[in-house]
Amino acid sequence: MKNEEMIQFRKKHFLPTATLYHKNPMQIVKAQGEYVWDSEGKKYLDAIGGIVCISAGHNHPKIKRALMKMLDEDTPQHTSTLYLNQASIDLAGRLLEESPEGLDRVAFTNSGSEANDLAFLAARQATGETMIMNLRHGYHGGTAGTLAQCGHGTWRFRAQPVAQATSALEPNCYRCPFGKVPDSCSLECAKNIETTIQTTTHGKIAAMIVEPVMGVGGFITPPDEYFKVAASIVHNYGGKFITDEVQTGAGRCGGEFLLTRELGIDADMVTMAKGFGNGAAIGAVLMKTEIAQSMSGKAYFNTFAADPFPAIQAKLTMDVIQEEGLIENAKVMGKVLKDGLTQMMKSHSLIGDVRGRGLMVGVELVKDRVSKAPATEECIRFMDECQERGLLLGKGGLMGNVIRIAPPLSIGREQVDFMLKVMDESLHALK
Ligand SMILES: Cc1ncc(COP(=O)(O)O)c(C=O)c1O
């Protein structure tokens, strides 16, 4: 089907909520390593990986061979969790090696939303409380339970089910909700968690969920010290601290496989998906034994969780990330990218802020640096200019003015230089 026909089909038969990137949306028909190709044969450097999902690289040869072998050997695609399945055990064992201390139970799901829903259920069961706290500008998924914890009006529906949810103010150093600047603040954002509990709840909560770098929110990067204060307040009020590593996990942030462990965050549960499966639909929750045990005597069932194909893909993704030193590479390449973008600020006043960790880099575009008025329309045009030049980027932020860069962790120096060159040219083209 031609692109235009496909667009018309989607308009007629898909939900009107289904959006497409770019003025000229393309069909991606081939993918290899850090690159994708459209139906006209044009090659692009994929610096967003679908949507922050490609960690080990598209169609990595080791993973591809293993999956082809599984098909050749008639390995069952589906077993359900009611039968023993070696791939799920291998994956769990490997994941537990990367788990923060004390989190020694693992549950698998098909997506990040389901992982977060399960974490909410477990926290509610363990505490006997129902209130979940989130952050404004946060995003945790599209299911009823997770959407209730969404900090973006654009994602919320009038008909959304009512749930016990309350929001603390976001730890955003570029647009501090308290009007502070990082060097002289007193972590008012973390302290706001306590005020929010005291003013909007009966004094106890089931949990707080935070993204260590806020993905959909535009790669908002809280200060490291935020998490210690935040977790301690949540624990003082009886709640469980959940880190949502759906975007930050799988080594993307360039320190450890999980940012929770790298930063020493005192989390009771960690959720993940996206880059964990390198394109396979798989999510996971790591939790403390005492939380898992509070669910004893009840059934929690997930038909496809850790079926052989997604489980083997996630396990091999973890192996590739380790064997090829991709976490260290994310750190080194992320720094080159961030330094290059920070340098670019000198010639492009449209760039208001460059932030992120490892290969999770956000570029906030503003009309001018004093008013910080969001450059929303420019952001769309900038992405199209980059697409034209063979570079795919993502977008985020409440006002849609933050460029999200999250390439495969295997990206090399030449590719980072290419990205910087294309972004520089595209910014010039906007003028
Ligand atoms: C931080 C975060 N958590 C959860 C989710 C939901 O994951 P999924 O779309 O796999 O359900 C997303 C998706 O974008 C996410 O960015």
CB of 247 within 6 A of ligand 1: the answer is yes
145, 114 in Cβ contact below 8 A? Answer: no
Question: Taking 90 as the threshold, does the pLDDT of residue 51 lie above it?
Answer: yes
User: Which residue puts its alpha carbon closest to atom 13 of ligand 1?
Assistant: 141
Could you give the number of structural domains in the chain? 2
Say yes or no: 369 and 257 in one domain. no
Compute the distance from residue 51 Cα to the ligand 1 centre, in Å.
9
Q: What is the mean pLDDT of the chain?
A: 97
**Lowest mean per-residue pLDDT among 152-156, 230-234, 411-415:** 152-156
Compute the distance from residue 243 Cα to the ligand 1 centre, in Å.
12
Compute the distance from residue 264 Cα to the ligand 1 centre, in Å.
23
103, 270 in Cβ contact below 8 A? Answer: yes
Compute the distance from residue 141 Cα to the ligand 1 centre, in Å.
5
Say yes or no: 218 and 195 in one domain. yes
285, 115 in Cβ contact below 8 A? Answer: yes
356, 213 in Cβ contact below 8 A? Answer: yes
Question: Taking 80 as the threshold, does the pLDDT of residue 161 lie above it?
Answer: no
Q: Give the SS3 label for residue 100.
A: coil
Say yes or no: 266 and 294 in one domain. yes
CB of 211 within 6 A of ligand 1: the answer is yes
Question: Taking 90 as the threshold, does the pLDDT of residue 253 lie above it?
Answer: yes
Say yes or no: 334 and 319 in one domain. no
Compute the distance from residue 164 Cα to the ligand 1 centre, in Å.
20
pLDDT of residue 159: 87
pLDDT of residue 18: 84
User: Which residue puts its alpha carbon closest to atom 6 of ligand 1?
Assistant: 141
Each residue's pLDDT tens digit, 85-132: 999 999 999 999 999 999 999 999 999 999 999 999 999 999 999 999
Q: Domain residues for 108?
A: 66-323
Q: Give the SS3 label for residue 267.
A: coil
- Whether residue 395 lies inside any domain: the answer is yes
Each residue's pLDDT tens digit, 285-319: 999 999 999 999 999 999 999 999 999 999 999 99
What CATH number is attached to the domain comprising 130?
Answer: 3.40.640.10
Question: Taking 80 as the threshold, does the pLDDT of residue 21 lie above it?
Answer: yes
What CATH number is attached to the domain comprising 367?
Answer: 3.90.1150.10
Say yes or no: 95 and 226 in one domain. yes
In sequence order, the β-bridge partners of residue 360 are 357
pLDDT of residue 431: 87
- Whether residue 143 lies inside any domain: the answer is yes
Q: Tell me which of 17, 19, 139, 214 to substitute to probe ligand 1's pocket, judged by most ligand atoms within 8 Å of the beta carbon.
A: 139
Q: Six-digit token pair at 230?
A: 């935040």
User: Which residue puts its alpha carbon closest to atom 7 of ligand 1?
Assistant: 112
Say yes or no: 379 and 246 in one domain. no
CB of 273 within 6 A of ligand 1: the answer is yes
pLDDT of residue 16: 92
Compute the distance from residue 354 Cα to the ligand 1 centre, in Å.
23
Question: Taking 80 as the threshold, does the pLDDT of residue 176 lie above it?
Answer: yes
- Whether residue 126 lies inside any domain: the answer is yes
Say yes or no: 236 and 342 in one domain. no
pLDDT of residue 19: 87
- Report the C-alpha gap between 417 and 420 in whole angstroms: 5
- Report the C-alpha gap between 28 and 43 in whole angstroms: 10
CB of 394 within 6 A of ligand 1: the answer is no
At 10, the amino acid letter reads: R
Question: Taking 90 as the threshold, does the pLDDT of residue 162 lie above it?
Answer: no
Compute the distance from residue 384 Cα to the ligand 1 centre, in Å.
25
Question: Taking 90 as the threshold, does the pLDDT of residue 40 lie above it?
Answer: yes
pLDDT of residue 308: 96
Question: Taking 80 as the threshold, does the pLDDT of residue 68 lie above it?
Answer: yes
Say yes or no: 171 and 75 in one domain. yes
- Whether residue 61 lies inside any domain: the answer is no
CB of 246 within 6 A of ligand 1: the answer is yes
Q: Six-digit token pair at 275?
A: 């880059």
User: Which residue puts its alpha carbon closest to atom 14 of ligand 1?
Assistant: 141
Q: Tell me which of 51, 140, 147, 258 to substitute to probe ligand 1's pocket, judged by most ligand atoms within 8 Å of the beta carbon.
A: 140
Say yes or no: 238 and 378 in one domain. no
Measured from the Cα of 216, ligand 1's closest atom is: 16
Measured from the Cα of 110, ligand 1's closest atom is: 10
Compute the distance from residue 184 Cα to the ligand 1 centre, in Å.
33
pLDDT category, 236, cuts 50, 70, 90?
very high
DSSP state of 47: S
- Give the residue from 323, 346, 362 where a domain finishes: 323
Compute the distance from residue 279 Cα to the ligand 1 centre, in Å.
13
Say yes or no: 212 and 71 in one domain. yes
Q: Which helix (H) or strand (E) holds 354?
A: strand 351-357
DSSP state of 195: H
Q: Average of pLDDT values for 326-349?
A: 98
